[in-house]
Chains A and B, each alone.
Chain A
Amino acid sequence: MGFDLLEPRTVAEAVELHARDGNAVFLAGGTALLILQRQGLPLPRRLISLRGIPGLDEITAGPGGGLRIGALATLRQVERHPLVVRRVPLLAEALRQVANVRVRHTATLGGNLAHGDYRLDPPAPLLVLGAQVRAVGIGGEREIALAAFFRGLFETALQPGEVVTELAIPPTPPSGGTYLKYALSSNDWPCVGAAALVALDDHGRCREVRLALTAVAAAPVLVRGLDELARGEPVSDRLAARLADIAAAQVEPVGDQRGSEWYKREMARVFARRALLAAARRAEAGPVGDGTKEPVA
């Protein structure tokens, strides 16, 4: 159970340390690592802590209304940050539903994404927000669209030795968004999580519809092909049901104790529809995002 804790002061140093010991593991909040250890998986002998690197948890305004979130920002920091609450309330709403406040004070957003667990909540809202992951490895820095980031069960686009440093959220169109977490008890991973973002035109017709689902496939799913059906259509129960059918056809649930494959697919359909309708209602009531009125900071 003993391990060496390495505490680099820069990202470059962290990456360098990993290059020297490929078996070392990056440590952010540690909540996922701790679980793996308690489940009997041997901890690596060497942990490279990212927590002492200055500036890696900063949250700043991006160009034109977007956001930059440092990978080491805790879920709680992100959830409570005024910029997040104002510009992407969908993200704050989703993070509020993650685990419990003690976990959110420790777990980091970057660690959450790098873990690649199919049951986590944050990937869904970040997928509909079109987030970009910035990763640094020994070969340099690159940006990966979140939509291309999740590859499979605990598998991401990160190369060995690459570390997530930042998440960039581009400006969102004026829209309504929501995240619905469906769990069997209040303090659990989701059976299904559904994030939706709906932008309407001046006549109340769909301009853009985005939907992402979590816990219903080996990796979070950004649903494709919704705009083709929705663009220019007025919001209705029927439209939402048709969009939800598209979503249900794109999930590939793995049965777990929170639901069988059949049940998860059914719930993907139900919560896709509910999330789309709730997001559309918010869009009608008063959209947020780029170009909408924003209080002066």
Chain B
Amino acid sequence: MADGRKQEFAVVGKSVPRVDGPPKVTGTPIYTVDMERPGMLHAAILRSTVPHGRIRRVDKSRAEQAEGVVLVVTGEDLKTMPGIDPYFGPAFRDQAILAIDKVRYIGDPIAAVVATRRELAYEALDLIDVEYEELPPVLDPVEAARPGSPLVHEQLRPAKAFADLAEIEPGKATNVCYHFKLRRGDVEQGFAQSAHVFEDWYYSPPAQHMMMEPHAALAWVDSDGVLTVITGSQSPSYVKGSLGAIFGLPQNKVRVMVPLVGGAYGGKLYDKLEPLASLLTFMARRPVKIQLTREEVFITITKHGVVSHVRTGVSQDGKILARKVEVYWDTGAYADIAPRVVHKSGYTSAGAYRVPNIWIDSYCVYTNKPPAGAFRGFGVPQVVWALESQMDMIAEKLGRDPLQFRLENVLLEGDLFATGTPVHSAGLKESLEAVAREIKWEPGVRKAVKPGTKSGVARAKGVACGIKAVITPSISGAIVVMNNDASVNVLTSTVEMGQGSDTALSQIAAEELGVRLQDVRVMHPDTAVTPYDTITAGSRSTYHMGNAIRLAAQEVKRQLFETASDRLEVDPDQLVARDGRIFVAEAPTRGLPIPEVFQARFGARGATLQGQAVFKTYAAPMDHETGQSEKVTEYWFPGATAAEVEVDLETGKVRVVKLVEACDVGRAINPHHCEQQIIGSALISLGQTLFEQMILENGELLNPTLLDYKVLTLKDVPESAVPIVIEVPHKDGPFGAKGVGETGTLSVSAAIGNAVYRATGVRVKELPITPEKVLRGLRAGQ
């Protein structure tokens, strides 16, 4: 389809190599962990050893005397510091820089030691004595949601930091910090009319982001009193605002800079180490750096463990009539961004299908465990695991082919979503059909592939799909600066964390300005210079920042055309910019190279032209009781997975032979990079499907190292892993683009779970799908 149209573009739609590729493979970029300042000190954090307790006493006197120690600070000290509000958090200001009065999980920061060397800071931690009065720990999210449970937080303060979270108000005396509700149609009547009703519990365990670069921040106060923080953060604009609020500083006295980031996946959003690093540099009057160990990263932020109950009613002819979903999000000790996770994945909890009667309750529940927040896919993979496992169970009961059953029910252009929002640019059907084609789907109710061809091994294929919505409303600002040699600086607060934004945004700027890709340089966030951006997360940068850059570049182009039209004596609207020239569209030889336009306009060496733009999306207000909204999101991310697995019937071990992932990206700005994002996110999910999980006992993490927490390695990658780019252009996307960073995470677990069932008859409802669970199922079925 797009072949003809793609010819129009010079840079967009082409698989150009990454602009940050050569420096990265030659090891030249400087990340936050590499940064140093003259006179820099190092900090280490003392953490709670009990899941829930009152702090009776912290004795830091011995640590203060230790070698190299400059200062030791505790939560008690924070209480009496003038001008500091020690609480932070994007949804609730529920987390103190250092625990005040109470600790809420094993790992909760209690005190910080600043020393001349990092090892000395860590060594001095052992010299701090803490006395606790232990409280009963709150561990199970379903229990914790019940009235009468011990409370993790006695009071809560909404943060009001984001428009989409403005409605959040905590209930009184409860661990449920947010309750999302959606009501559509009459769900009980729907069940009454159903020929079959299915009801199942599913579980998805907490997991790790496992970014290569651990959390790190380096803070100092410069000579004119500006608090300056270098941090590997996905949300520099937010951090600037948050530090201003904590320390009572005007926003131009806070400067947050983000260099290249060594991976994030949602684990480096909002406040992490920045408030503590800032506090310590104010106290020490010297630069202070904090860098977490891997063991500390494990307990700093996690992917939510989720318990879901799904009840679905269907007619005999395979229409979904009613769906009631109850989801418990184990958000740990601090809410972080969890209410937004629960909201966003809450309203997609009825799935990617036409369902007339829907009832959703999604509970965000505090427990005494490490905090959970954003993770690539933002909660949707946990919900899709439940929904799409059950879809296959329904199809089997109805005697239907699971692919066909999905295709008949899946949302199409213009259909109403659970929220009442019409669906646009949602290539669900296209994605399902694409993966089915690639895996050579053989229709059938339950079909093991070539059973018995290899003894003791069963083989089968499975399929699943999912849909996610982009965070709405949100804001991206961009400044485009063109130099008089036609080279360009793009100023944005988008963070390059490995996802390829420097390349995609360069392509968009180059296309709009008619210059070469190598003429564009995307600058990294520096809040003293780069404009506001909500976050680099949620697959939003290509669309939002892409649009902002396009608009800003158009402003630069307008000025170029203004000058060129004088010189060429044509109307500006007859001009085009391409190949570094401004020329008359109808007469391409009549034109000027961009440097000559600058010469004509300024006659000065080093002159620049600027354009700036803010791109903002809107959502129609959502009804609190029913979750209905005419426009709940700016755009949708649909994706589908097909997997072929081989199960060893003696061990229960699952080997994924082939994994196919298709995602609708709107328009691929860079097709090859889209493929890499699709397969990368599918593989992150594959690891979480087969073996990744944080194992907690009484609030204590039992596997806080890479020895015992196993992530996918290259050797675990299927022989065949195929990404498919689906393009259903979005009317308002830059060149039709949407986003692609998370879509591949949505349905991998369910597709594999479904394939394992089709191969063995064993339905695993609790991730990960370990060999032991499969073997127990096989034995139970004998």
Q: DSSP majority for the B interface?
A: loop
Residue among B119, B690, B712, B771 facing the most chain A CB atoms (10 A cut-off): B771
Shortest Cβ distance from B717 into A: residue: A186
Q: In the assembly, what is the distance between CA of A261 and CA of B702, in Å?
A: 18
Chain B residues with CB under 8 A of A35: 705, 707
Chain A residues with CB under 8 A of B651: 182, 267, 270
Knowing A257-B703, A263-B772, the reply to whether A187 touches B295 (Cβ < 8 A) is: no
Q: In the assembly, what is the distance between CA of A191 and CA of B648, in Å?
A: 15
> Would you call B775 and A263 a contact (CB within 8 A)?
yes
> Which of these, B122, B708, B713, B771, contacts A186 with CB under 8 Å?
B713
Q: In the assembly, what is the distance between CA of A2 and CA of B775, in Å?
A: 48
Interface residues of A in 258-274 (CB under 8 A from B): 259-260, 263, 266-267, 270
> Which of these, B123, B295, B712, contacts A38 with CB under 8 Å?
B295
Q: Is B184 at the interface (CB under 8 A from chain A)?
A: no
Knowing A1-B119, A259-B772, the reply to whether A185 touches B705 (Cβ < 8 A) is: no
> Would you call A257 and B695 a contact (CB within 8 A)?
yes
Q: In the assembly, what is the distance between CA of A182 and CA of B772, in Å?
A: 13
Interface residues of A in 173-210 (CB under 8 A from B): 182, 184-189, 191
Cβ distance B440 to chain A, nearest Cβ, rounded Å: 27
The contact string, 1 if C-beta is below 8 Å from chain B, for chain A 1-42, is 110000000000000000000000000000000010011000
Chain B residues with CB under 8 A of A270: 650-651
Chain A residues with CB under 8 A of B122: 1
Interface residues of B in 259-307 (CB under 8 A from A): 293, 295
> Would you call A39 and B710 a contact (CB within 8 A)?
no
Q: Is B770 at the interface (CB under 8 A from chain A)?
A: yes
Shortest Cβ distance from A266 into B: residue: B775
Cβ distance B712 to chain A, nearest Cβ, rounded Å: 7
Cβ distance A44 to chain B, nearest Cβ, rounded Å: 15
> Which of these, B119, B703, B707, B771, contacts A184 with CB under 8 Å?
B771
Cβ distance A146 to chain B, nearest Cβ, rounded Å: 25
Shortest Cβ distance from B713 into A: residue: A187
> Would you call A186 and B703 a contact (CB within 8 A)?
no
> Would you call B690 and A185 a contact (CB within 8 A)?
yes
Q: In the assembly, what is the distance between CA of A187 and CA of B707, in Å?
A: 9
The contact string, 1 if C-beta is below 8 Å from chain B, for chain A 231-265, is 00000000000000000000000000101100100
Cβ distance A154 to chain B, nearest Cβ, rounded Å: 15
The contact string, 1 if C-beta is below 8 Å from chain B, for chain A 135-171, is 0000000000000000000000000000000000000
Chain A residues with CB under 8 A of B710: 184-185, 187-188
Size of interface on B: residues with Cβ below 8 Å to A: 26
Shortest Cβ distance from A35 into B: residue: B707
Chain B residues with CB under 8 A of A182: 651, 653
Shortest Cβ distance from A259 into B: residue: B772
Q: Is B566 at the interface (CB under 8 A from chain A)?
A: no
Q: In the assembly, what is the distance between CA of A38 and CA of B695, in Å?
A: 18
> Would you call B707 and A186 a contact (CB within 8 A)?
no
Cβ distance A243 to chain B, nearest Cβ, rounded Å: 16
Knowing A257-B695, A257-B703, the reply to whether A185 touches B772 (Cβ < 8 A) is: no
Q: In the assembly, what is the distance between CA of A187 and CA of B692, in Å?
A: 13
Q: Is B716 at the interface (CB under 8 A from chain A)?
A: yes
Shortest Cβ distance from B293 into A: residue: A38
Cβ distance B44 to chain A, nearest Cβ, rounded Å: 11
> Would you call A2 and B705 a contact (CB within 8 A)?
no
Q: Is B691 at the interface (CB under 8 A from chain A)?
A: yes
Q: DSSP majority for the A interface?
A: loop
Cβ distance A215 to chain B, nearest Cβ, rounded Å: 14
> Would you call B775 and A185 a contact (CB within 8 A)?
no
Shortest Cβ distance from B123 into A: residue: A1
Interface residues of B in 687-712 (CB under 8 A from A): 687, 690-691, 695, 702-703, 705, 707-708, 710, 712
Chain A residues with CB under 8 A of B295: 38
Q: In the assembly, what is the distance between CA of A57 and CA of B690, in Å?
A: 39
Shortest Cβ distance from A39 into B: residue: B705
Chain A residues with CB under 8 A of B690: 184-185
Q: In the assembly, what is the distance between CA of A58 and CA of B721, in Å?
A: 44
Shortest Cβ distance from A40 into B: residue: B295
Q: Is B715 at the interface (CB under 8 A from chain A)?
A: yes
> Which of these, A185, A260, A266, contacts B716 with CB under 8 Å?
A185
Cβ distance A221 to chain B, nearest Cβ, rounded Å: 19
Shortest Cβ distance from B703 into A: residue: A257
Cβ distance A175 to chain B, nearest Cβ, rounded Å: 25
Residue among B691, B695, B703 facing the most chain A CB atoms (10 A cut-off): B691
Q: In the assembly, what is the distance between CA of A189 and CA of B703, in Å?
A: 13
Chain B residues with CB under 8 A of A267: 651
Q: In the assembly, what is the distance between CA of A1 and CA of B710, in Å?
A: 27
Interface residues of A in 96-137 (CB under 8 A from B): none
Shortest Cβ distance from B702 into A: residue: A257
Q: In the assembly, what is the distance between CA of A184 and CA of B707, in Å?
A: 13
Q: In the assembly, what is the distance between CA of A270 and CA of B650, in Å?
A: 7
Interface residues of B in 93-113 (CB under 8 A from A): none
> Which of these, A187, A189, A259, contacts B715 with CB under 8 Å?
A187
> Would you call A185 and B713 a contact (CB within 8 A)?
yes
Shortest Cβ distance from B122 into A: residue: A1
Q: In the assembly, what is the distance between CA of A266 and CA of B707, in Å?
A: 24
Chain B residues with CB under 8 A of A186: 713, 715-716
Cβ distance A108 to chain B, nearest Cβ, rounded Å: 19
Q: In the assembly, what is the distance between CA of A270 and CA of B648, in Å?
A: 11
The contact string, 1 if C-beta is below 8 Å from chain A, for chain B 660-697, is 00000000000000000000000000010011000100
Chain A residues with CB under 8 A of B713: 185-187
Cβ distance A139 to chain B, nearest Cβ, rounded Å: 36
Q: In the assembly, what is the distance between CA of A210 and CA of B707, in Å?
A: 31
Interface residues of B in 530-568 (CB under 8 A from A): none
Knowing A1-B119, A1-B122, A260-B772, the reply to whether A38 touches B705 (Cβ < 8 A) is: yes
Interface residues of B in 406-464 (CB under 8 A from A): none
Shortest Cβ distance from A183 into B: residue: B710
Chain A residues with CB under 8 A of B772: 259-260, 263
Q: In the assembly, what is the distance between CA of A208 and CA of B707, in Å?
A: 37
Shortest Cβ distance from B771 into A: residue: A184
Chain B residues with CB under 8 A of A259: 771-772
Chain B residues with CB under 8 A of A188: 710
Q: In the assembly, what is the distance between CA of A269 and CA of B653, in Å?
A: 15
Q: In the assembly, what is the distance between CA of A261 and CA of B713, in Å?
A: 27
Shortest Cβ distance from A192 into B: residue: B651
Q: In the assembly, what is the distance between CA of A2 and CA of B118, in Å?
A: 12
Q: In the assembly, what is the distance between CA of A184 and CA of B705, in Å?
A: 16
Chain A residues with CB under 8 A of B653: 182, 184
Chain B residues with CB under 8 A of A257: 695, 702-703, 708
Shortest Cβ distance from A185 into B: residue: B710
Q: In the assembly, what is the distance between CA of A187 and CA of B710, in Å?
A: 8
9 contacts between A and B (CB under 8 A): A38-B295, A39-B705, A182-B653, A184-B690, A185-B712, A186-B713, A187-B710, A188-B710, A267-B651
Of all A-B residue pairs in the complex, the 8 with the closest CB atoms, nearest first, are: A186-B715, A185-B710, A263-B772, A1-B119, A187-B713, A270-B650, A185-B691, A186-B716
- Known contacts A38-B293, A185-B710, then 14 further A-B pairs from the complex at CB < 8 Å, ordered by chain A residue: A1-B122, A1-B123, A2-B123, A184-B770, A185-B690, A185-B716, A186-B716, A187-B710, A187-B715, A257-B703, A263-B772, A266-B775, A270-B650, A270-B651
Residues of B that sit less than 8 Å from A by CB: 119, 122-123, 293, 295, 650-651, 653, 687, 690-691, 695, 702-703, 705, 707-708, 710, 712-713, 715-716, 770-772, 775
Residues of A that sit less than 8 Å from B by CB: 1-2, 35, 38-39, 182, 184-189, 191, 257, 259-260, 263, 266-267, 270
